[in-house]
Amino acid sequence: MSIDTSGGALTEAQATKVLWRPSNAVVTFVIFMLPALILFTTFVMLPMIDAAHFSLYKWNGYGTPTEFVGLDNFERLAGNRIFLHSFGNSMKIIAASLFIQLPVALILALLIYEKHWSNTVFRLIFFLPYILAEVASGLIWSFIFDGDYGLAAEISRWLHVDNFYILADRQWAFTAILTVIVWKYFGFHMMIYIAGLQSIPKDQIEAITIDGAGPLQVIRYVKLPMLKPALTMSVFFSVIGAMQVFDIIIPLTNGGPSNLTHSIVSFLYTFGLQRMNIGFGSAVGIVLFLFCATFAFTYRSTFQREKGAR
């Protein structure tokens, strides 16, 4: 007895077509992930590989690097007083961001998060500094701090004291930079917190209020716990952003006086690019990358463990 399979049999061409039909996962990967991976590789990974390569050479940026120095550039960094001071300045920026900028942003968000036209006006006013370009912000504040013609000069005249050149003072110049950084970015974090506060269900707040909780208890037991994802993201942005501060420092002090106000990135720009010491500057970039990558990995792992524990 024979079985007739002519009606349901697949031709060889049809079978090949079925075997090679891409799955939905493959199609999704090609459409969405592949372009992003190409861009990431082109503009992030390849430059980082080049920087790691250049950091092993003494090179001025012209031609092909030929003078191999190994880890000498990194050894120079470890003993460079200005670099170590610049690294310390970046740590101070992180501290100011975490302990001044974020609390200010949180307090303001708690005050003006509710939907009302007056709160909208205040949100716009507080968010405006973030909209301004960093260089423009630096130039505006350099005029304000100017001891001859700026607001600082006017205050000195009103108080009948000698003109005070804040940005040229070794003790106050970096404090002025920290003030500008806090002013520039607190509005960004405030808007993150406002978005988080507005997403809290009102019935939770009403329930704890009916139970007799006061405003501070509502903040402690409802608002802050519900804001934890926003706070986590805000801390991450603060630390990474603080390590990348550059274009506020350059128009304000250009790293002065006496190279006391450099951040890591402005140090890289001044002593690496401006002085055409590309190998040395690449070593600075690698140190910065390793710090940021280590922080990002550790921070993410910590909160992943906390989330898993819950």
pLDDT at residue 144, rounded to an integer: 93
Question: What tens digit of pLDDT does each residue of 73-91 get?
Answer: 999 999 999 999 999 999 9
In the structure encoding, which two tokens stand for residue 70, read together? Answer: 């190994």
CA distance 268 to 282: 8
Cβ–Cβ under 8 Å, residues 259 and 272: no
86 in a domain, yes or no? yes
pLDDT by residue (tens digit) across 22-58?
A: 567 777 777 788 888 899 899 888 989 999 999 999 9
Binned at pLDDT 50, 70 and 90, residue 145 comes out as very high
- If DSSP codes are grouped into helix, strand and coil, which group holds residue 24? helix
Does the pLDDT value for residue 3 go beyond 50? no
pLDDT at 153: 87
Specify the pLDDT at position 122. 94
CATH number of the structural domain spanning residue 193: 1.10.3720.10
Q: Which regions of the chain does DSSP assign to beta strands (E)?
A: 57-58, 67-68
Could you tell me the residue range of the domain that residue 129 belongs to?
Answer: 72-304
What is the percent of the chain with per-residue pLDDT over 70, rounded to a whole number?
A: 91
Query: Residue 226 falls within a domain, yes or no?
Result: yes
H-type alpha helices, 161-210: 173-198, 202-210
C-alpha atoms less than 13 angstroms from C-alpha of 82 in its C-beta half-sphere: 17
Token pair, residue 109, equals 């968000």
Nearest to 252 by CA among 137, 90, 130, 138: 138
Query: Is 61 inside a domain boundary?
Result: no
The pLDDT score that the predictor gives to residue 245 is: 94
Considering only CA atoms, give the Rg of the chain: 28
**Whole-number average pLDDT of the chain:** 88
The candidate with the shortest Cα–Cα distance to 73, out of 90, 59, 89, 87, is: 59
**Total structural domains in the chain?**
1
Residue 233 contacts by C-beta under 8 Å, 6 or more apart in sequence?
A: 192
Domain assignment present for residue 42? The answer is no
Identify the pLDDT of residue 13.
52
pLDDT band at 21 (very low <50, low <70, confident <90, very high): low
Contacts of 296 (CB under 8 A, 6+ apart): 236, 240
Q: How confident is the model at residue 282 (pLDDT cuts 50, 70, 90)?
A: very high
pLDDT band at 65 (very low <50, low <70, confident <90, very high): confident
Does 209 map to a domain? yes
pLDDT exceeds 80 at position 229 = yes
Is 254 a residue whose pLDDT tops 70?
yes
> Nearest Cα to 248, choosing from 193, 150, 166, 178?
178
Say if residue 22 is preceded by a cis peptide, omega within 30 of 0: no
Structure tokens at 133: 């370009």
Residue closest to 187 by CA, chosen among 134, 123, 247, 245: 123
DSSP state string for 277-296: -HHHHHHHHHHHHHHHHHHH
